Amino acid sequence: MASQRRRAFRGRVVYAILKALGAVVRRLPLSFARGCGVVLGTLAWLVARRDRRRALENLTIAFPDWSLARRRKTIRATFRHLGKAVFEILWMPNINAQNLGDYIEYEGFDRTVEQMRAGRSVIVFTAHCGNWECLAYGVGMGAEGLPVSVLQRERNEADINRYISDLRASAGVHTIDRGSASAAREMIQSMRRGGILAFLIDQNLRTESAKVPFFGKPALTPIGPAKLAIRTKALAVAGFVERQPNGKHLIRFHEPFEATGDPIELTARLTRVIEEQIRRVPEQWVWFHDRYRERPKWDVGAVEPLSD
């Protein structure tokens, strides 16, 4: 009981710090805030030895023809990019319907919105590319009142979850916590409302998964989103956000298509699109994730369940 109280107290402190830090960062010019993020990312690069090592292993798999120097340069750029993303998230409440175009641009999103206005539900398949919280925020703002929901993996720090959920809610985005008692019901309700339901499918998670090719090597990938899309006869679409040289974020949606067939094949198809996006801007993906980890318990091809 005492430990639970300590965790709850620590969580409230973390949430208060994030709120206070956000209030300070929002008063800064965005360029200065991003500069602070570069400093944060550089410090992280210097101290995160294990993450650097894993990133180097993953880049060696993905780009075997690259030199070591090029891989290391990409990893440094990834840390700086993620540092910028942290400060952009803190600054993000400054973006509103009036100044949206100053910070976010769209490509292909109008096709998805047209389908939604015609009554179709859409499942968006995306990845940890660019500033993915900017993707949620920008889609919520750009959907002009249409329902938008995202499924998130609950972080160990519940109050960081709360901070991010509050941020999304300010843009009209509803967050569904994976594993919660109401998750299945909320996802079905989202589909029935003819809205967007977005999933990140580029990580190795403790959920029903299948091995599909990712940079030429089989990687466990969640198949639940594909199964849901096929079962609900939703449209499937790949959507990403990409940091541009001019400082804006480009939200790019591919052409929506009918989700049919085998969920593993659909997952493999969309993973290929994710790989293409990562190849476009490799420094904007999280290379230190343990993407190729074995999880026999969650592999749908496993003969029998094993402990994780």
In this structure, the answer to whether residues 172 and 281 fall within a common structural domain is: yes
Residue 121: what pLDDT? 92
pLDDT at position 307 is 43
Whole-angstrom distance, CA of residue 254 vs CA of residue 274: 11
Is the same domain home to 194 and 110?
yes
- pLDDT (tens digit per residue) in 223-235: 999 999 999 999 9
303 occurs within a structural domain: no
Whether 117 has a pLDDT exceeding 50, the answer reads yes
Highest mean pLDDT of the ranges 4-8, 202-206, 275-279: 275-279
Give the integer Cα–Cα distance in Å for 279 and 29. Answer: 31
Q: Are residues 81 and 111 in the same domain?
A: no
Note the pLDDT of residue 144.
80
Can you point out the beta strands (E) in 195-279? 196-200, 209-214, 217-222, 235-243, 249-253, 257-258
Torsion from C-alpha of 220, 76, 241, 28, nearest 10 degrees: 140
CA distance 56 to 66: 11
Looking at the predicted structure, is the pLDDT value of residue 268 above 80? yes
Amino acid at 279: R
Domain count for the chain:
2
State which residues form the domain around 26.
Answer: 1-94
Both 207 and 265 in a single domain?
yes
pLDDT, residue 305, reads: 40
- 161-182 pLDDT, tens digit each: 888 999 999 999 999 988 777 8
Query: 84 or 161: which carries more pLDDT confidence?
Result: 84
Reduced to 3 states (helix: H, G, I; strand: E, B; else coil), residue 254 is: coil
Range scoring the smallest mean pLDDT among 61-75, 199-213, 294-308: 294-308
pLDDT at position 15 is 83
pLDDT at 195 over 90: no
Residues 66, 60: Cα–Cα separation, whole Å: 8
Both tokens assigned to 129: 């590319």
Query: pLDDT for 240-266, tens place per residue?
Result: 999 999 999 999 999 999 999 999 999
281 and 244 both lie in a single domain: yes
The reported pLDDT for the residue numbered 143 is 86
128 neighbors 200 (Cβ within 8 angstroms): yes
Judge contact between 63 and 278, C-beta under 8 A: no
Q: Which of 76, 94, 112 is the last residue of a domain?
A: 94
* Structure tokens given for 148: 């938008």
The answer to whether residues 79 and 145 belong to one domain is: no
For the record, the structure tokens of 60 come out as 């060696």
Query: Distance between CA 31 and CA 110 in Å, rounded?
Result: 29
Asked if residue 187 belongs to a domain, the reply is: yes
Residue 141 within a domain: yes
Distance of CA 142 to the CA centre of its chain: 18
Average pLDDT over residues 81-106: 96
Tokens 């198809």, residue located: 269
Q: Which two tokens stand for residue 234?
A: 């939703």
Distance CA(89)–CA(126), nearest Å, equals 18
Amino acid identity at 70: R
pLDDT, one tens digit per residue, over 1-23 is 556 666 667 767 778 888 999 99
Structure tokens at 65: 């023809």
Check whether residue 270 and residue 161 sit in a common domain: yes
Burial class (CB in 10 A: 0-12, 13-18, 19+), 248: middle
Task: Please check whether residues 153 and 267 belong to one and the same domain.
Answer: yes
Closest by alpha carbon to 257, among 278, 273, 242? 273
Residues 24 and 119 both lie in one domain: no
Confidence of residue 193 (pLDDT cuts 50, 70, 90): confident
Single out the residue of 157, 156, 152, 161 nearest to residue 126, CA to CA.
Answer: 152
Answer yes or no: is pLDDT of 96 > 80.
yes
